[in-house]
Structure 1
Amino acid sequence: MWKVLLHNDEIHTFEFVTETLATAIPTITRMKAHEICVTTHNHGRGLVTTVWKSQATQHCIALQRKGLSVSVAKDGSGGPNQGGGGGDGDGGGGGGGGGDGPSTE
């Protein structure tokens, strides 16, 4: 399984990021998208979802095309978390942002 991680930036509004997450990833509600935004803002990055690698790559590319800073990372826990998630919250930063392919960690 692979994690899709949203990295904090000081460019996009909560409203834009919430709408983008909820629109681009059908399993994420607006409420969950807002929670992901808060976690990302507070901790530098947040867990968007944990899915199979091919789907994580698709989500990452779609979100990067909308201008968000997103990366994918291998998840060591094993199980899917289709509904989005709380926070990865280690204060990390960086990430993708507009490239042709997903960033990986």
Structure 2
Amino acid sequence: MNTSNNSSSIENEVKKLVTEIKVIADNSQENIFDLLLILRELESLHSHIRREMFEPALPDTRHRLYLLLKHLEEVGGWPYIERMKIKDMCQILLSQEK
């Protein structure tokens, strides 16, 4: 497991990247295609990290599994990227026509 100091450093780096992505998204608010590109890239990055790095790092002992589950319970659940459904998009369009 990572030390607290190392986790803090990584957390700061990730927060900087998130801030940069938010700025890019803010600057792209008027361009649906740029926003879609950002969402696709984030989804791709999420999948890559999960498959190539997270899954191989899953616990191989009961003790490490316990630590992971404890962390998930204390800090937050499993990461999830929600996708907008076409049905929801159509409902938004229909409600705007009224």
TM-score by length of 2: 0.27
Higher relative contact order (CA 8 A, sep 6+): 1
Higher CA-based Rg: 2
TM-score by length of 1: 0.26
Greater share of strand = 1
